[in-house]
Amino acid sequence: MKYNEIPTLTKELAEIESIDVYFAQQFCTSGRQNNEIWFMLLIALSFVQRKGHTCLDLRFLASQTLFDSEEETLKGYAFGDLNTLLHACTSAISDHDLQSVMMLDDTRLFTRRYWKFEQQICNALASRTHKNVLDDTQYQKLKSLWPLMFNTERNKGQDWQQVATAAALVQNFTIINGGPGTGKTYTVTRLLLALKQCFGLDLNIQLAAPTGKAAQRMNESVGAALEKLRSTVDNNLISSVSADALTLHRLLGIQRFGVQTLKGPDSPLPCDVLIVDEASMIDTALMARLVRALKPGCKLILVGDADQLPAVESGSVLESLISLQKAGTASEPVQQHLNKLCPHLPELESVDSQYVSLDFVRTLTISQRFKGALSRVATCIKNDQAEQAWQGCPEFSDADMTNFLHNEQTFTLPESYFCEVSEKLIHACFSSLKNIDQTPQQVLQVLTQCKWLTPVRKGPSGVDALNQRVEKTLFQAAANQEYYPGRPIMVVENNYAQHLFNGDTGVIWPDSKGQLLAWFETADGVRAVSLSRLPKVETVFAMTVHKSQGSEFSQVLIFLPEATTSQMSSLLSRELLYTGITRAKRGCILVGSKTSFEKMVATQVQRHSGLAQLFHDFCN
């Protein structure tokens, strides 16, 4: 394609960016590559990768018109049928120069980089799907521990937490999937003890999470759960378990702005077991780097909620692997193991022979904590029941302001009414941050009481405008200062020297001498960081739903803006709404219209990837 033809072709395309055109130009230069269809396929590939897909699936592109916009009167581009698209790809990629950078796998067009990532993930995980056999001594040890951790009386109902714990002992790859309150921490804590009991106290188990906040929460929740068991379980066993979770970037040794890792095939992680929380946040590139760093035989256990938002970067590894599950089933080796260790549990349905290698997913279904109005609304959202969800949310009123922080209801609040009562809400949510008599630890606890969540950064319902609104109302005298007492902050870049990582949250507060410092929670209490040594931070009275993953708050306000562009429409999804509402432990206010709410529930994130099919084919 001649360079002077590109402006004519691209001027009719909506939503594409300069990087898409640049990408297409690099691989559409001469010979058989030089044609309009191939150029537009490259534009589409770059576009979908920016949207989180790892590949361009030609089946979904065939005979479709993309990049059109009625609002901008742009006609877009009409793609041909599947055969036409496949012919354009195979013809272009037959060029030797392209074979090192592009890959057509069935009907999926990849950059070879992402194709390799998926191959590496598949190979590493599939090699861990075989079942291990425990000896009689190990069963004896486990049977002495089991009644101290679980109910071992016969029951007609299934105990999925026991099933997940037991199954993970004989597998080198397990996913523990479940929504809020279904007992993921409960299960992981007991699995940690069972692993140590079965394989020895010197077994090296490492906990990890994608963000600093998620790692901190994992430390706190696992540590607290272990303490609860200290009165019933042997103290030496409890003490052998470390709840020191690291971020994946720190674990792998990924430096700021870098993609290279200190840990890899030539320098693997020393752990025998790696348990990763909030696994829905792991993108394809990071997962590939993680599995490359595992030593042979290392158990990998992913914990998360597949209904939450997928990773910010390309890929949705957890969702792809969860899609392979045969719920409530077990292969014969796993069932035999369960019969030995948990004879009190009902037998699971036998899995078809073709799925024997795919029974690594254990989904926890019964919520022990997340109940009431929040649970009902979240379940309706997850099940695409917008009308039932909205009907279950009364409209917020002045009377509900009185005891707001103790609210256990999910309310709706029209945006126009929010503008009227915003000052009252700001005082109800954040005025405790002005109580100068509090200790830093008390103020950090105040930050967990309420958070405003929004899908966007810009606009009247964006993070910037909402934070400015709160500052203007509560901290007007100090709002022009960079730091002031009560300013909640989030670290937005890793700083290994200060042990602060992207996603860590804290507060600006004076010490006993009145000096302003940044305070952060630790496993042992709180620690202070000098403002001069603080990495880049942002104010977080309000934060994006994406940044809130891995956090919990007693109350949340979730803003539901109207979609003004097709790009924004795809952002306002069911997964985003579900993730936002499940950050709340007690109550929630949905700020926006029923129309916006219904559109979000109807919009589901669908990321194209070859991982699920590849993994299925590899295992069978």
pLDDT score recorded for residue 353? 62
Instruction: Please determine, for residue 4, whether its predicted confidence score (pLDDT) is greater than 80.
Output: no
Instruction: Please determine, for residue 479, whether its predicted confidence score (pLDDT) is greater than 70.
Output: no
Alpha-helix runs per DSSP H in 406-462: 415-430, 440-446
Residue pLDDT, tens place only, 291-336:
999 999 999 999 999 989 888 888 889 999 988 877 788 888 999 9
Instruction: Please determine, for residue 104, whether its predicted confidence score (pLDDT) is greater than 70.
Output: yes
Look at phi and psi of residue 360 and say left if phi exceeds 0, alpha if psi is from -120 to 50, else beta. alpha
Residue pLDDT, tens place only, 258-268:
678 888 899 99
Alpha-helix runs per DSSP H in 131-183: 136-149, 160-169
Phi first, then psi, for residue 131 (nearest 5°) are -100, 135
β-pairing, 505-510 vs 516-522, is: antiparallel
> Looking at residues 59-69, what average pLDDT do you find?
91
pLDDT score recorded for residue 310? 86
Instruction: Please determine, for residue 1, whether its predicted confidence score (pLDDT) is greater than 60.
Output: no
Interatomic CA distance for residues 235 and 229, integer angstroms:
9
Interatomic CA distance for residues 449 and 406, integer angstroms:
9
β-pairing, 542-544 vs 349-350, is: unpaired
CB of 170 closer than 8 Å to CB of 345: no
Residue pLDDT, tens place only, 271-295:
999 999 999 999 999 999 999 999 9
Task: Pick the more confident residue, 351 or 511.
Answer: 511
Nearest Cα neighbor of 485 from 470, 496, 475 is: 475
Helix (H) or strand (E) holding 20: helix 18-26
β-pairing, 77-78 vs 65-66, is: antiparallel
Most confident of 129-133, 323-327, 351-355: 129-133
> Looking at residues 86-114, what average pLDDT do you find?
92
The owner of tokens 């042979």 is 296
Interatomic CA distance for residues 370 and 586, integer angstroms:
9
Phi first, then psi, for residue 526 (nearest 5°) are -135, 160
Instruction: Please determine, for residue 439, whether its predicted confidence score (pLDDT) is greater than 70.
Output: yes
Instruction: Please determine, for residue 413, whether its predicted confidence score (pLDDT) is greater than 80.
Output: yes
CB atoms closer than 10 angstroms to residue 196: 21
Residue pLDDT, tens place only, 247-256:
898 899 987 6
Interatomic CA distance for residues 590 and 603, integer angstroms:
17
**Range in 16-20, 503-507, 567-571 with the lowest mean pLDDT:** 567-571
**Range in 21-35, 199-213, 378-392, 500-514 with the lowest mean pLDDT:** 21-35
Residue pLDDT, tens place only, 443-473:
999 999 999 999 999 889 999 999 999 999 9
